[in-house]
Structure 1
Amino acid sequence: MAWTLRLSEDEEAALSAQAAVEGRSKQELVRDAVRTYITRHKTWDDYLSDDSVVYG
């Protein structure tokens, strides 16, 4: 999957500062933040599987 994240100058500066403090890349910080957000806000019961899904 590919996507583009556009941040304001202030957000970009904050992300750069956070990356420097944690010693991680901005990409790592954003990836982990998106993963955490999706996990906390998921609305499906289970992750996708190989089983067939039939909708009424």
Structure 2
Amino acid sequence: MAWTLRLSEDEEAALSAQAVVEGRSKQEITRDAIRTYLTRQRTWDDYLSEGPVVFG
């Protein structure tokens, strides 16, 4: 999957500072944050157990 994340200058600076403190890359921090968010917000398991979802 490919995606683009655009941050404000302040957010970019905060992410850079966090990367220095943690000794990790900005990409690693961002990837882990998005993975955690998706895991917490996941709802598709509920729908897959009851058959296909039809839109339209």
TM-score range, shorter chain: 0.7 to 0.9
Q: In angstroms, what is the RMSD of aligned CA positions?
A: 1.9
Identity of aligned residues (%): 78
Q: What 5-or-longer segments of structure 1 have no aligned partner?
A: none
**Which 4+ runs in 1 deviate beyond 2 A?**
53-56
User: Quick one: distance in 2 between partners of 1:54 and 1:15?
Assistant: 40
Unaligned runs of 5+ in 2: none
Aligned residue pairs: how many? 51
The 5-angstrom pairing of residues 1-12 of structure 1 reads 1-12=1-12
Q: Distance in 2 between matches of 1:12 and 1:44?
A: 31
Q: Secondary structure at the match of 1:17?
A: helix
Cα distance in 2 between the residues matched to 1:28 and 1:55: 34
Question: Which of the pair is proportionally richer in helix?
Answer: 2
